[in-house]
Amino acid sequence: MVLNFPASGRWISGSGQVLKTVNPATGDINAEIGTPSPEEIADACIFAHQSAASDSWRKLKPHERATYLYRISAAITEDAEDLAQAQMLENGKALKECRQQAASAAATFRYYAAACETLESIVPPNRGNYLTVTTYEPYGVVAAITPWNSPLTMEAQKVAPALAAGNAVVLKPSEVTTLPSLTLARICEKAGLPAGLLTVLPGYGRDIGPTLLARPEIRMVSFTGGTETGRAIAGVAAKRLIPAALELGGKSPHIILDDADIPAACDGVIDGIFEGMGQSCVAGSRLFVPRAKHDQIVAILVEKAEAIRLGQPTGPDTDIGPLSSHHHRDKVEEYVEAARKEGGIVATGGSRPVGAQFDSGAFYRPTIITGLTNSARVCQEEIFGPVLCVLPFDDEDDLVATANDTAFGLACGIWTSDYRRAWRIARSIDAGTVWINTYKQLSIAAPFGGFKESGIGREKGLQGMRLYQQAKSIYFATA
């Protein structure tokens, strides 16, 4: 059975090529999903535009619009297991992590419902005989383009604030993970969200992307994914003069200083790179350690990496599942080979796990590489897999210069018992997020995004709602 998708106010089968999604843990086909033709994309965008412009959405008072978001949040909680299973089947993440992400999606809708009710217009100081009120208006229809690594959280992070801001959303999920977005659309429908406010267009980015972004109804694009795709989308947005919010890749430095609690730091490093098989934009993939403590720290990390339990995502004891696709595993393997050729020493991992339960899945062992310098290809390019490179440093100046010697600037972790040092280094690192004595702690209330080639714009927090609005200043004469 070919699954339908929501477009133009109904669920359609689409006249594009049928898409098959594959379970990376077993190699089995999960689902066959219809995709739209260019004409169906055009119709869906026109319908979304009409839905966004209709009085029943555009003229809603903020607390009325918030009611929809609260209902969606409750419906997500009710159907959280469907969402978690949908993601697990398609990207192979451990079920327990998928369940946490479904809960996080519900929390995101709740946060933006509250933001919608409480965000204020501004009355700037008057500089003459007038009163100015600055209001924030929606763009109309925004395109949300999402990747495969964490669709549950990333789609909520775009759809919730864009709706709260008064827009309609056209969502293009990764072709690897379409089921979570279809499940979210069903949940929104069940929660009573009017037709046309959330459209899902399944299919390949290279087919759907250009047609979608060329549509005049699309007035803003919010993208999360690889830096090269982000650059291409920014080019299209520049030509069309529409804003583009880009959350891109990373090569984040994770730093252990000589005064750190080393066992705690090593736990943080292991989670920071291997949780989700390293398929996270904020993965701490370059570890900087004091030269004198290099061997001691590597020995602890190797022991911890070897204790990680790989397995089927449904397994109650599974810490990490497979990579998100067999194709992606090939890419990770190529990177590890490239590291070996550049003189890297594989301290652990560097191969597929052995055992019948791993035969058909895209599994790969957590890998730690030493003996390289920061200029090596694996230290400069985003691998997006379970590969940690350990780099020794000599002093703080050397550390900061080398940690910043990357095109990216997404995140950083610092482990130390000296908060003055932590503050000094945190301020010097080019990154949108810095964690001190913790890692990957994320709050929907705090802005998130990248420096340098890690992106433009900030999602989450109140700024994450303003991203989907444009300011309008209205002047009233007072004399």
Residue 172 C-beta: closest distance to ligand NDP, Å: 6
Nearer to ligand NDP, 361 or 432 (CB): 432
Please tell me which residue in 40, 217, 247, 275 is annotated as part of the active site. 247
Residue type, position 448, single letter? F
Please tell me which residue in 155, 188, 459, 460 is annotated as part of the active site. 459
Distance of CA 70 to the CA centre of its chain: 23
Torsion 427-429-433-436 (CA) sign: negative
What is the enclosing helix (H) or strand (E) of 171?
strand 168-172
Residue 375 C-beta: closest distance to ligand NDP, Å: 19
Nearer to ligand NDP, 174 or 318 (CB): 174
Residue 227 C-beta: closest distance to ligand NDP, Å: 7
Nearer to ligand NDP, 79 or 90 (CB): 90
Closest CA to 337 of 374, 369, 313: 369
Residue 433 C-beta: closest distance to ligand NDP, Å: 13
Q: Which residues pair with 145 in a beta bridge?
A: 172, 223
Nearer to ligand NDP, 225 or 311 (CB): 225
Q: Which residues pair with 5 in a beta bridge?
A: 12
Please tell me which residue in 45, 98, 266, 281 is annotated as part of the active site. 281
Torsion 217-222-225-226 (CA) sign: positive
CB atoms within 10 A of CB 178: 27
Contacts of 73 (CB under 8 A, 6+ apart): 106, 107, 109, 110, 113
* Whether the Cβ atoms of residue 167 and residue 468 lie closer than 8 Å to each other: yes
Nearer to ligand NDP, 6 or 205 (CB): 205
Residue 341 C-beta: closest distance to ligand NDP, Å: 20
Distance CA 84, CA 461 (A): 24
SS3 36: coil
Residue 144 C-beta: closest distance to ligand NDP, Å: 10
Nearer to ligand NDP, 95 or 383 (CB): 383
SS3 326: helix
What is the DSSP pairing of strand 130-138 with strand 5-7?
A: unpaired
Provide DSSP, 350-407.
-SPPPSGGGSSS-----EEEES--TTSHHHHS---SSEEEEEEESSHHHHHHHHT-SS
Closest CA to 189 of 3, 58, 60, 6: 6
Q: Is 441 exposed, middle or buried (0-12, 13-18, 19+ CB in 10 A)?
A: exposed
* Active-site residue flag, 247: yes
Question: CA-based Rg of the chain, rounded to a whole angstrom?
Answer: 23
Place of tokens 């993970």: 177
* Active-site residue flag, 217: no
Please tell me which residue in 40, 98, 116, 158 is annotated as part of the active site. 158
Q: Which residues pair with 122 in a beta bridge?
A: 134
Residue 477's alpha-carbon distances to 33, 126, 133, 135, in angstroms, are 57, 11, 12, 17
Nearer to ligand NDP, 249 or 386 (CB): 249
* Active-site residue flag, 389: no
Residue 1 C-beta: closest distance to ligand NDP, Å: 22
Nearer to ligand NDP, 113 or 176 (CB): 176
Nearer to ligand NDP, 113 or 213 (CB): 213
* Active-site residue flag, 412: no
Tokens of 88: 């697990």
Q: Which residues bind ligand NDP (CB under 6 A)?
A: 145-149, 172-176, 204-206, 209, 224-226, 229, 232-233, 247-249, 281, 382, 384
Which residues carry out catalysis? Answer: 158, 247, 281, 459
